[in-house]
Structure 1
């Protein structure tokens, strides 16, 4: 009998240890770089016994405890709106960029909500979830937190937009922490006009989000979830936790509340894997060194005109270094020391090869993390978004150079490559920041998993919220206190003035009496 009871207790312990939560994860942005960061997180959660329902634009390999919903049609909606072309165009206004993003995401969201998978998530009463993990970019998919009455965690593959920092209670300041998409020459030495424009940008952004985006999103959601859908800002403010892919090597330091966890040490970087035999031989034979050139997953060959592509090929042809060039374009004639492919799946492992001496990149955050982790200097050619600030930060810290996208010539590329090849300081700085980047108290993957399970265990994390989030604005800015102080000051001045007048009048009266 005792043995049976012990066995039963062991069995119960086993169940309690291996209890798997039901997690709904929604990553709706049609960009591989937004997806790849969190793939190790879904795998680790599934390996720990949690049941993951993942809505993604880029499907992973199948594995136990992972159910995937294909959202890849989002790419066609972004292409239809010419999103990459618009945000890459320097003449495009902030409003044009915002509208292109909104149209593409709205079309994607509508198709998802109307799909059998979306309808199942909305109407199937057998769906039970303990946690929502959702990309902190646009707020639409956060509605499932309200729908299922579960806590949610926002995640971002870069520094998130300011409305999520506000929902987490993190301070927003146009000078100390300008928006990551706001172009600046030097975030540490902003000119007066940059400070003014940053102030206007942030407040214009707030107005657009609150009075345009949130209202339109709510009207769309009411079509699928009913008229009872709360205001989007109220749903968003129920955020339990924010996981952001930031690191002081790439972004300026900013104050964060305890419910904001940084995972900017390359969570997607796994153990080194061997290269394919042909790639290994190609790089091993690069006695003079090798260059790796990739503009990421969003910039395609069609985004570079024929003159630019010709100039790049001429530059690579004229240099003694071997070149790996990721581009979806076919050239009539390519020299033997230049290898062109549509996609290199082992970018991080390529950068780890000792013969790679410089990485030419668009300045995407994940690419830069991989390069710094490998201790390799970079040449940045930013096109849009946070790429501009990432590259400027790189130049400021001295582990790379910038070439403007409108100045891609044979000469500019040659000069930038030779500058890095001839001056060891760039490599030394990259290696030094690589040592800092790799030095963490807890691996980011373990940290992210622990915090998600923390939210599940405690059914939210409202106790970590900034108390100011519960206060009206007049209390936050102490308008009542300031008003009382001003009132007291005015009263003192008034009384003082009255006393002076009274004394003055008495003196005049006394003087007149004496003269009489």
Structure 2
């Protein structure tokens, strides 16, 4: 009968579902301690925390009371507050304002050698103080131990989390792209500077001789900064961690690196088995826009829409630049959505919609979007790749130029430096991206490559966090190379032994010949 047939089909379906449940590894809700960085780093990790929360994991966040982005109240996590004297929003705001002035026409060299390094050292000092507060607070430490966390998830841009994980003896998972002063790969994988460009160098993986010389110089500067930063952390290790510790070794000893990049975006380089690439893991298919925004997008017709934002940390460009940009937009047939906070430029045209906030992911995923004008933050670049929208980049600070350079090297975008930005260069860059189809074609190709994966980056991130919980770490994936002294790592001791053996053999042969020659001469004289 039909009823029996339906029951049969239902039974087969149930059996198939049970089989799948047996194949897919499960993980009961874990107890995860999180020590994140603020700003855009928090925006990155927050998406992952949301996914972990939806999988039933309990999350506890350690945050500074002066936090900029990390909210004290959330349905996703509970909070441990650390008192701080620094308001990060005001602190960064002042720095960014000064850097905008420098990039517009000041002495960048003086700024980078003094103000930027001063900023980083101040931030590290703040995290030193936070860590010392934690390690001196016996009540809080007891609560952390009694909570029996399964792992600690942190960002190695500062070393507070890795030292705390060592102190609490917890498995360590890093949500990373940087560690202290350099790209995270330099901490744990072979990284030849002959074809791996340093952040800030502005080079690709194809360098001529003089570029390689400069790249070695940038590597030396990064190492010098690392030596400025690590002593403070190592002093805390010596004081609070039994038998002491070396902060670089702790970072290298992490169980899993969830790396916010991939080789669609980055240049190929050596890697390690415990590095999991999750570039673009926050990207999702676009959602429908509000009725007002959708009407605006559709009103653009065949010309399409330009989307512009310089990120959440930059309120506004200098007024002169904003006036010139608005004037260029007004001349174009495209419609424009521009996130701009501050004085409204007097040259804004009827085709331009100025907003305080925009649903960036949803706008980039809209078929009417033709060009994305952006500062080159990692999130924006990855979202542009995901949705296949070419980028006109205006880098402002940190790694933004290097991010945009990777798009430009693949023919998927172009760059205008802030000190070269004016109405003429901006219009030229926009028209180039709008009218030369190869930019869009190349970006669409990157989008297809990025999406063609057996598992989404987010699924990989969650899987490997749960993997560490299930197996109490992932020591079998960690290399032991960093525990070797440098002369053993580079086999200098082996080379010295072999060289000594060769030299010894040559000397023995020479000595033997001299002995035989002398003996023959003695015989001749005796005759």
Equivalences for residues 173-252 of structure 1 within 5 A? 173-179=192-198, 181-188=199-206, 190-209=207-226, 211-219=227-235, 230-252=245-267
Is 1:401–2:408 an aligned residue pair?
no
| Alignment-derived partner of residue 45 in structure 1 | 52
SS of corresponding position for 1:37: helix
Distance 1:467 1:109, change over 3 A: closer
Match of 2:278 among 260, 263, 275: 263
Structure 1 stretches lacking a partner, 5+ long: 1-12
Equivalences for residues 88-127 of structure 1 within 5 A? 89=103, 90-91=108-109, 92-94=111-113, 96-107=115-126, 110=129, 114=133, 121-124=140-143, 126-127=146-147
| Alignment-derived partner of residue 132 in structure 1 | 152
CA distance in structure 2 between the partners assigned to 1:310 and 1:204 by the alignment: 38
Distance 1:498 1:113, change over 3 A: closer
Distance 1:207 1:185, change over 3 A: closer
CA distance in structure 1 between the partners assigned to 2:522 and 2:234 by the alignment: 73
Query: How far 1:369 moved relative to its partner?
Result: 1.3
Give CA-to-partner distance per residue, 1:373-410, whole Å, 9 cap, x none: 11111111122222222222211211111212111111
Distance 1:293 1:216, change over 3 A: same
SS of corresponding position for 2:395: coil
| Alignment-derived partner of residue 67 in structure 1 | 78
CA distance in structure 1 between the partners assigned to 2:183 and 2:350 by the alignment: 50
CA distance in structure 1 between the partners assigned to 2:78 and 2:135 by the alignment: 15
Query: How far 1:184 moved relative to its partner?
Result: 2.7
Q: TM-score, with normalisation over the residues of structure 2?
A: 0.83
| Alignment-derived partner of residue 10 in structure 2 | none
| Alignment-derived partner of residue 280 in structure 1 | 294
CA distance in structure 2 between the partners assigned to 1:86 and 1:100 by the alignment: 11
Do the aligned partners of 2:96 and 2:314 also contact (CA within 8 Å) in 1? no
Match of 1:381 among 394, 400, 404: 394
CA distance in structure 1 between the partners assigned to 2:59 and 2:45 by the alignment: 13
| Alignment-derived partner of residue 392 in structure 1 | 405
Do the aligned partners of 1:27 and 1:134 also contact (CA within 8 Å) in 2? yes
Do the aligned partners of 1:152 and 1:239 also contact (CA within 8 Å) in 2? yes
Distance 1:311 1:158, change over 3 A: farther
Do the aligned partners of 1:377 and 1:399 also contact (CA within 8 Å) in 2? yes
CA distance in structure 1 between the partners assigned to 2:26 and 2:361 by the alignment: 35
Is 1:342–2:356 an aligned residue pair?
yes
| Alignment-derived partner of residue 18 in structure 2 | none
Q: What is the count of residue pairs matched by the alignment?
A: 489
Give CA-to-partner distance per residue, 1:65-85, whole Å, 9 cap, x none: 622457896523633762674
Do the aligned partners of 1:311 and 1:410 also contact (CA within 8 Å) in 2? yes
Equivalences for residues 405-416 of structure 1 within 5 A? 405-416=418-429
CA distance in structure 2 between the partners assigned to 1:163 and 1:289 by the alignment: 37
Is 1:25–2:25 an aligned residue pair?
no
Query: How far 1:220 moved relative to its partner?
Result: 5.7
CA distance in structure 1 between the partners assigned to 2:132 and 2:294 by the alignment: 46
Distance 1:123 1:84, change over 3 A: farther
Query: How far 1:323 moved relative to its partner?
Result: 0.9
Distance 1:17 1:193, change over 3 A: closer
Do the aligned partners of 2:131 and 2:160 also contact (CA within 8 Å) in 1? no
CA distance in structure 1 between the partners assigned to 2:349 and 2:56 by the alignment: 51
Give CA-to-partner distance per residue, 1:338-361, whole Å, 9 cap, x none: 1112221x1011011222111111
CA distance in structure 1 between the partners assigned to 2:134 and 2:516 by the alignment: 84
SS of corresponding position for 2:297: helix
Do the aligned partners of 2:322 and 2:345 also contact (CA within 8 Å) in 1? no
Do the aligned partners of 1:163 and 1:206 also contact (CA within 8 Å) in 2? no
Query: How far 1:197 moved relative to its partner?
Result: 3.1
Is 1:82–2:65 an aligned residue pair?
no
Q: TM-score, with normalisation over the residues of structure 1?
A: 0.85
Give CA-to-partner distance per residue, 1:134-162, whole Å, 9 cap, x none: 01211122222023211111112579854
